[in-house]
Amino acid sequence: MSDSSAVDEAIIQLLAADAELTTRCPDGVHYDVAPPGSKRFVIVSLLMHVDEYLFNEEAWELFTYQVQCIELETSGASNSRAAAARIHALLQDAYSLAIDGYGVMKIKRIERIRTTDADAATDTRWLHRGGRYEVMVQPLD
């Protein structure tokens, strides 16, 4: 039986293995939350998951992930734009993504993310750039 967590892991592994992205986001690729003290990192979050059935058999699964570079802006020179572009290059139409127990049917960005969180008390800004991606997979077993 296929395990949906394998899809989460494959997305994270793909991003974490890319030298260009890890140079831009040296504090790593994480699921939902980065470790304390991180300043430039990628967060992958599952927003939605749907199982679709056909003739009482699981036909496919549809995931919606939010994938974004989060960066503490310290100098005014943002790295997040290039990191988001790299995330998009890696995920958009990544049909060859190896996922244990699944075949990829579709990976598409459905929404772009660009926000800034400001903390007036400390005069810090966190930049968020990336996107929401639909990942459709077919269980192989």
- Name the pTM for this structure: 0.91
Scored b (16 or more CB within 10 A) or e, 6-28 reads ebbebbbebbeebeebbebbebb
**pLDDT exceeding 70 applies to what percent of the chain?**
96
113 close to 88: Cβ distance less than 8 angstroms: no
Q: Identify the pLDDT of residue 1.
A: 67
Q: Identify the pLDDT of residue 119.
A: 81
User: Domains in the chain, please, with CATH?
Assistant: 5-139 (3.30.2000.30)
Question: CA 99, CA 79: separation in Å to the nearest integer?
Answer: 29
* Dihedral sign for Cα atoms in the order 28, 51, 130, 11: positive
Predicted confidence (pLDDT) at residue 23 exceeds the cutoff of 80: yes
Q: What average pLDDT does the segment 113-128 reach?
A: 88
Q: What average pLDDT does the segment 35-58 reach?
A: 92
**pLDDT exceeding 90 applies to what percent of the chain?**
77
Predicted confidence (pLDDT) at residue 12 exceeds the cutoff of 90: yes
